[in-house]
């Protein structure tokens, strides 16, 4: 309770970030509610984004479509997660399965970031200036770009891909794990008429090493990433 109140007071004192006025890089994935919502040439993707870090702004996880250019927003798709509006404390360590439609193709994890003006390059961090009542602050945000040896998933036209869970850890890394069956029941029921695309391909270095422990605002306030 104290953590949530402290975060709320900080938010009230701060002015909106100049960086937040710019468009986020990439293209936001489009939510779908069932097979009839999926357009021709597209497939459905069920995915969960989590974070054990306290998110004072949404975290974006970026994927590049095979054959595309990371500098072209149309080739990069982004998924995001943010704190619940009425959450007391950090609720982003919980699973949150959502289903989107993507063009058929293979997608590779290329970066994660917060308030980034562009998709972070390999091992790059986003540094932003945050204006406030007492002057401008330079902040390091959770962010990192990944090399080619990163998780991929395939989207097939008219099929559903169970892409898994991509979690932002306190190590400032995105790590992957299977979504528990209990968390997928509703999605599997809604999309049962669609064939299932192949499982994602995940290098061992990206497998989730430990369970997520929700951190508070005080845990991550002023932290350098």
The reply to whether 154 falls in a domain is: yes
The reply to whether 70 falls in a domain is: yes
Instruction: Report strand pairing: 105-113 vs 30-31.
Output: unpaired
The reply to whether 38 falls in a domain is: yes
Domain total in the chain: 1
pLDDT at 34: 97
The answer to whether residue 208 scores a pLDDT higher than 50 is yes
Q: What's the rounded Cα separation, in Å, for the pair 5 and 26?
A: 33
* DSSP labels, 42-91: EEEEEEEEEESS--SS-EEEEEEETT--TT-GGGEEEEEE---TT-SS--
Name the burial class of residue 191, with classes exposed (0-12), middle (13-18) and buried (19+) by CB atoms within 10 angstroms of its CB.
Answer: buried
The answer to whether residue 71 scores a pLDDT higher than 90 is yes
Tokens 């540094």 identify what position? 127
The answer to whether residue 11 scores a pLDDT higher than 70 is no
Mean predicted lDDT score pLDDT of the chain: 88
pLDDT at 6: 45
Q: Give the range among 43-52, 125-134, 152-161 with minimum mean pLDDT.
A: 125-134
Full domain range(s) for residue 185: 2-220
The answer to whether residue 12 scores a pLDDT higher than 50 is no
Task: Kindly give the residue spans of alpha helices, DSSP state H, lying in the chain.
Answer: 2-13, 181-190, 217-220
The reply to whether 225 falls in a domain is: no
The C-alpha torsion from 89 through 90 and 96 to 98, rounded to 10°, is 100
The answer to whether residue 54 scores a pLDDT higher than 80 is yes
Name the burial class of residue 67, with classes exposed (0-12), middle (13-18) and buried (19+) by CB atoms within 10 angstroms of its CB.
Answer: exposed
| pTM strictly above 0.85 | yes
Are the C-beta atoms of 100 and 31 separated by less than 8 Å?
A: yes
> Per residue in 172-202, pLDDT tens?
999 999 999 999 999 999 999 999 999 999 9
């Amino acid at each position: 309770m104290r953590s949530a109140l402290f975060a709320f007071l900080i938010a009230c004192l701060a002015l909106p970030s100049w960086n937040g006025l710019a468009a986020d890089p990439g293209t936001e994935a489009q939510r779908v509610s069932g097979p009839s919502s999926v357009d021709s040439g597209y497939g459905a993707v069920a995915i969960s984004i989590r974070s054990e870090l306290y998110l004072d702004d949404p975290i974006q996880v970026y994927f590049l479509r095979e054959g595309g250019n990371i500098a072209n927003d149309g080739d990069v798709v982004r998924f995001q997660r943010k704190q619940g509006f009425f959450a007391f404390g950090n609720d982003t360590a919980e699973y949150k399965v959502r289903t989107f439609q993507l063009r058929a193709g293979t997608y590779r994890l290329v970066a994660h970031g917060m308030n980034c003006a562009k998709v972070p390059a390999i091992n790059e961090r986003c540094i932003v200036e945050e204006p406030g009542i007492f002057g401008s602050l330079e902040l390091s945000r959770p962010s990192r770009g990944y090399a080619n040896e990163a998780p991929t998933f395939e989207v097939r036209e008219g099929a559903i891909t169970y892409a898994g869970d991509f979690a932002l850890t306190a190590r400032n890394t995105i790590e992957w794990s299977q979504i528990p069956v209990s968390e997928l029941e509703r999605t599997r029921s809604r999309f049962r008429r669609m064939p299932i695309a192949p499982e994602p391909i995940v290098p061992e270095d990206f497998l989730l090493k430990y369970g997520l422990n929700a951190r508070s605002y005080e845990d991550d306030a002023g932290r350098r990433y």
